[in-house]
Structure formats: structure tokens, C-alpha cells
């Protein structure tokens, strides 16, 4: 304490100022980006934009089938990756011997860094061709599931590791079964970590273009089953911005919908995770 006070006042202030400026810079950058999307896309969005099918390659009409396809792809992705990710993370932290961790952790980290187009080509070769799912929401969702699994597993793992070891010892001392301990104590306590994993996974999945162009595809018809090809929001934005003359306005509109969707999902997941944790663990 005495030492800190001994630092010349000006120097201390300078450092504080710099930290503040950096934080301010990041916030300004984000707000700039957000206001640009809102400014340019705000005019495009109205009730019809959200409920109509695209007309004239997206120059007119709306994005209703694209919203539905995005929801379905995301649903398949999270529906498959969440149980698998949770199971793998539980196995790694709670049940497996410590020695095997290094190798698994390393391979997960490498997988998490693989560019999404590689997953896209893999998905196209494996799900679309080998398994014969073709261009479909299902093969898109499964490809995304492969892509988000490593992120999901690593974040859930961190959440589980952060649960104090005393909890497990206390539960064991009380004679609780391993499964009981997991259900009533460890999982609720690890919920913030799990929520972060879900958020990162959804964030990566919903913004994905490269992995989906060869798997879920480009068709902008309203999907009638998971085996239909369906265009997601990010591909629609890319197509409007790059391939459709005069499509900029609706590209911004779609981007704004995507950003709003992401904010809503983030808020909901955080809120549910917090509520669930509190209802399970009043003591925390």
C-alpha cells in the first residue's frame, strides 16, 4: 500500500487514463459497428420483412423462410452438440483418469482452431455425400455441431473444474451417489460455465457462412422437413451483399435481424442459467 502511494501521481494517472482509453476504444468500435447496422438496416425492417418470403432474389419481400431455416439449423446443431458436449466434458472432468487429459485437451484446442471452411468441406463430403443427406438442414446442423463441439466441451470443462473440490468431498461424506452429486450439486454449480459454452457455440454457429454454403445450401424456399435445403441468415447477407446488384439495403436489414437475434438469445440463456442456478443452489 505504502509503495503504491510512493509512485508519482502523474504516472499513475497516465496508466489509468490509458486503460480507460483502451476500454473506451473497444466500446466505441462496437457501438460504431452496431449503429452502422442499425442506421443502414433499420429502414429495411418491418412486419412484412419478417413474415414474407424473399422476392427477386431478396431485393424485395422478406426473410421468413431464412429465419426458419436458421432456427432449424441452429436447433439441430445445439440439439446434437449439447448432450454430446456435456457428456464428454463430464467424462473428462469427473470420470476419466487425469493422465489422458493432455492429449484430449490438445486435440480439442486444435479442432477449435480449424477454419470453418474445412468443416464445411468435411460436412459436404461426409454428411451430404457419404451419408446421402444431400444439401439439407440436417447435414448443415450436424456439420455445425462438429464445429462447435470443441468450444462447447472446453467451456463446460472449465465450468466443471471451477466447482470447488470441497463440494464433491462434502457430498461424498454425506453419502450421496455420484450421479446424485452431479445432478443436484455439480451441474447447477457449473451452470455459468455451461451457459458461456452454449453462448459461444450459438454465436459461432449463427454467424457461420463457409461451413453451411456446401451443406445446408442456398435454397430460400420455406423448409418443410429437415432434409430440405435451407438458406441461413449469414448466407443470405453474403449473397445480397456480393451477388445481388442493389441488395445492400436488405443485406443490412438481415444483418440487423441477426444481431438482434444474437442479443436476444444471449440475454435469454444468461437469464435462464442464472435463475436455474439460484433455484437449485440457494446457498451460493
Partner 1 sequence: MSGRAIAGAFLGLSLGLQACSSLQASSSGSAPQKLVITGSSTVAPVASEIAKRYEAQNPQVRIDVQTGGSSRGIADIRQQVADIGMVSRAAKPEDQGLNFHTIAKDGVVVIVHRDNPIQRLTRQQITDIYTDKLNNWQDAGGKSQAITVVNKAEGRSTLEVFTKHFQLKSSQIKADVVIGDNEQGIKTVAGNPLAIGYVSVGAAKVNVEQGTPIKVLPLEGVQATPQTVQDGSFPLSRPLNLVTQGPLNPQQQKFIDFAQSSQVKDIVQEQSLVPVQE
Binding site for partner 1 (CB under 8 A): 56-59, 80, 84, 88, 91-92, 100, 104, 107, 127, 129, 131-133, 135, 138, 142, 146, 149, 213-214, 217-220, 225-227, 229, 239, 241-248
Q: Which is nearer to partner 1, 23 or 55 (CB)?
A: 55
Q: Which is nearer to partner 1, 156 or 273 (CB)?
A: 156
Q: Whole-number minimum distance, CB 221 to partner 1, in Å?
A: 8
On the 0-12 / 13-18 / 19+ scale of CB atoms within 10 A, 166 is exposed
Alpha-carbon 132 to chain mean position: 27
Find the shortest distance in angstroms from Cβ 39 to partner 1. Answer: 16
Are 94 and 168 a contacting pair, CB within 8 Å? no
Q: Which is nearer to partner 1, 100 or 169 (CB)?
A: 100
Three-state secondary structure readout of 134-161:
CCCHHHHHHHHHHHHHHHHHHHHHHHHH
Could you tell me which of 80, 101, 274 has the C-alpha nearest to residue 189?
Answer: 274
Residue 118 CB, shortest distance to partner 1, in Å, is 15
What's the min distance (Å) between Cβ of 171 and partner 1? 24
Identity of the residue, 129 or 275, whose beta carbon is nearer to partner 1 in the bound complex: 129
Q: Which of 165, 148, 141, 156 is nearest to 71 (CA)?
A: 141
* In the complex, minimum distance from the CB of residue 47 to partner 1, in angstroms, rounded to a whole number: 23
C-alpha cell at 83: 448432450
What is the Cα–Cα distance from 69 to 65, expressed in whole angstroms?
Answer: 6
Nearer to partner 1, 70 or 229 (CB): 229
Q: How far is the CB of 243 from partner 1 (least distance, A)?
A: 5
User: Residue 4 CB, nearest distance to partner 1 (Å)?
Assistant: 48
Question: Residue 54 carries which DSSP code?
Answer: E
Residue 255's nearest CA partner among 279, 234, 282 is: 234
- Residue number, 100 or 177, with CB nearest to partner 1: 100
Which residues have C-beta within 8 Å of that of residue 244, sequence separation ≥ 6? Answer: 57, 58, 59
Which of residues 219 and 260 has its CB atom nearest to partner 1 in the complex? 219
Amino acid at each position: 500500500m505504502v509503495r503504491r502511494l510512493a509512485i508519482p501521481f502523474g504516472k499513475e494517472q497516465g496508466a489509468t487514463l490509458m486503460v480507460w482509453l483502451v476500454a473506451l476504444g473497444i466500446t466505441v468500435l462496437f457501438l460504431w459497428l452496431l449503429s452502422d447496422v442499425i442506421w443502414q438496416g433499420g429502414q429495411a425492417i418491418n412486419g412484412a420483412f419478417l413474415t414474407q418470403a424473399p422476392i427477386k432474389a431478396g431485393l424485395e419481400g422478406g426473410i421468413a423462410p431464412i429465419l426458419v431455416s436458421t432456427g432449424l439449423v441452429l436447433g439441430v446443431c445445439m440439439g446434437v452438440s449439447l448432450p454430446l458436449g456435456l457428456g464428454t466434458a463430464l467424462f473428462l472432468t469427473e470420470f476419466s483418469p487425469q493422465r489422458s487429459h493432455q492429449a484430449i485437451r490438445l486435440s480439442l484446442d486444435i479442432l477449435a482452431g480449424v477454419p470453418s471452411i474445412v468443416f464445411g468441406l468435411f460436412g459436404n463430403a461426409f454428411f451430404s455425400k457419404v451419408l446421402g443427406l444431400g444439401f439439407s438442414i440436417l447435414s448443415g446442423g450436424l456439420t455445425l455441431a462438429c464445429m462447435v463441439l470443441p468450444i462447447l466441451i472446453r467451456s463446460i470443462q472449465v465450468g466443471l473444474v471451477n466447482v470447488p473440490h470441497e463440494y464433491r468431498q462434502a457430498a461424498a461424506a454425506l453419502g450421496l451417489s455420484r450421479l446424485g452429486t452431479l445432478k443436484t450439486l455439480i451441474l447447477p454449480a457449473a451452470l455459468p460455465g455451461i451457459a458461456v459454452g452454449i453462448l459461444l457455440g450459438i454465436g459461432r454457429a449463427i454467424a457461420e457462412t463457409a461451413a453451411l454454403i456446401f451443406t445446408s445450401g442456398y435454397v430460400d424456399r420455406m423448409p418443410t422437413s429437415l432434409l430440405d435445403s435451407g438458406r441461413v441468415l449469414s448466407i443470405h447477407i453474403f449473397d445480397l451483399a456480393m451477388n445481388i446488384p442493389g441488395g445492400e439495403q436488405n443485406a443490412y436489414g438481415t444483418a440487423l435481424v441477426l444481431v438482434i437475434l444474437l442479443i436476444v438469445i444471449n440475454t435469454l440463456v444468461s437469464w435462464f442459467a442464472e435463475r436455474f442456478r439460484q433455484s437449485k443452489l440457494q446457498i451460493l
